[in-house]
Amino acid sequence: MTKPKLLIIDDDEPIRTQMKWALAQDYEAYFAGDSDKALEILKNEHPCLVTLDLGLPPHPEGTAEGLRLLKMILQRDPAAKVIVVTGNPDKSAALEAIAQGAHDFFTKPVNIDELKAILRRAYYVHTLEAEYRKLQEKVESQSFGELIGTCPKMQQVFATIRKIATTDVPVLITGESGTGKELAAHAIHSQSVRHDKPFIPINCGAIPENLMESELFGHEKGAFTGAHIQRKGRIELAEGGTLFLDEIGELPLSLQVKMLRFLQDHKIERVGGREAIEVDVRIIAATNKDVKRLVADGLFREDLYYRLAVVTIDLPSLRERGEDILLLAKTFLQKFTDSKKGTKSLSDEAIDAINRYEWPGNVRELENRIRRAITFSEGHAITSADLGFEAGERASQSLDLKKAKEELEKKIINAALAKHKGNISKAAAELGLTRPTLHHLIKKYNITK
């Protein structure tokens, strides 16, 4: 393992020698007795840790040269952790250095054990900050706003968003609860020509049926008891922008007819009104239900389904997203940690628990567990207990045998297809199935060959 690079700047030769023997085992140490030598080492070696004696030549009795050098070090490398050394017992110079960006300080005579502890802590903070910067770069390159992902399925989602964002085609976003359907809708809106217009969401399952029509289409004054003023509905409020119909599968059949009519002619009538009002909005709908099953059961109009599902985006569950789980966990950790309380990191135990868990609540559950962990953790490292996992807890064990069977079938089919590089005939032969049966299962489970 590579040792951290440490630059020791001190004009006192005995102190440099003392530090050399004390720290050489743990650090790749470099030494300078003045500013010129220190800047040369900084340029060539880029040490992440620096101890800086404020009393340097040409004025070793004062602190001006040390403070000047501190400023130059941080200009060259803002990430460097500089620990200043002072011989002044009132510590005023050290506190001034802290105000100018130094990480910490210690006083002479040097206590080696104290110095080692300060250096260990400084290096720990440096590594956390470096990891955070890398994480931010990765997130920025592999995300749409708050929708983050590097796995193939999420990259496919992003590719679809790029293709459809600049069009006005209706979109149906499907996926389990907590997979980020509203974030995907926001991403489409923000990439579209409508991005500077309203994004208006409405949860079709959260509003009572007797109020839903008014919420969507608005009402005229006196249309019903309590309608004291004219009120625009969500569709009108979204004029020029995007209307997001969340949980569209919960929309009552009576309103499905009106929604279909709106999608056909882009006109609405407020409750109690007779005037047709033309509205220019883009429709994005989402559901965690199997809409085709709802259509088959007579609970959702087939013609409305085909109007909404011009393009369908299926968001994968978190358990299907591999390394994205840890990427998201670290992103939430950095996002929600209060800088005043210091940095936080995931312990090996917590990482193992995160990777083993099945995440039935998907990204929303992961976000909530990270928030909980930040609140309950007492040290820098998040534990599995902080995340709300009991010792040795694995995936939530479902008693749904049908679902378990389906998951096993998908896993085995994926393995056979991967082994035979997508060759249906060879995969079917290995699985003991006919080609038509395997084609049916691939379509049923939406498996990408």
What are the CA-CA distances from residue 336 to residues 137, 184, 344, 372 (Å)?
A: 18, 21, 10, 10
**Which residue has 């140490």 as its token pair?**
29
Domain 401-444 adopts which CATH fold?
Arc Repressor Mutant, subunit A (1.10.10)
What was the pLDDT predicted at 340?
A: 61
Spatial distance between the Cα atoms of 267 and 409, rounded to a whole number of angstroms = 47
Instruction: Report the Cα 201 to chain-centroid distance in Å.
Output: 21
What are the CA-CA distances from residue 6 to residues 19, 110, 176 (Å)?
A: 11, 16, 50
What was the pLDDT predicted at 142?
A: 54
Which of 2.120.10.30, 1.10.8.60, 1.20.1260.10, 3.20.20.70 would CATH assign to domain 318-382? 1.10.8.60
Spatial distance between the Cα atoms of 294 and 302, rounded to a whole number of angstroms = 9
Q: Where are the domains of the chain?
A: 5-138, 150-314, 318-382, 401-444
Max CA-CA distance within the chain?
94
> Residue 26's CB: how many other CB atoms inside 10 A?
14
What was the pLDDT predicted at 339?
A: 64
Q: For 261-315, what is the HEC assignment?
A: HHHHHCEECCECCCCCEECCCEEEEEECCCHHHHHHCCCCCHHHHHHHCCEEEEC
- Chunked mean pLDDT (size 10), the chain, 449 residues: 89 88 91 93 94 88 89 92 82 86 87 90 87 62 72 90 89 95 93 92 89 90 81 94 95 92 92 90 95 93 95 95 91 82 82 92 94 87 88 45 72 84 85 80 78
Architecture of 150-314 per CATH?
Answer: 3-Layer(aba) Sandwich (3.40)
Spatial distance between the Cα atoms of 126 and 134, rounded to a whole number of angstroms = 12
- CB-based contact 242:281 (threshold 8 Å): yes
Tokens of 241: 């922008």
E strands, 367-411, are 381-382
Domain 5-138 adopts which CATH fold?
Rossmann fold (3.40.50)
Q: What is the DSSP code string of 91-140?
A: -HHHHHHHHTT--EEEESSP-HHHHHHHHHHHHHHHHHHHHHHHHHHHHH
Q: Is the pTM of this model over 0.85?
A: no
Tell me which residue of 395, 404, 407, 398 sits closest to 353, measured CA to CA.
395
Matching CATH topology for 150-314 and 401-444? no
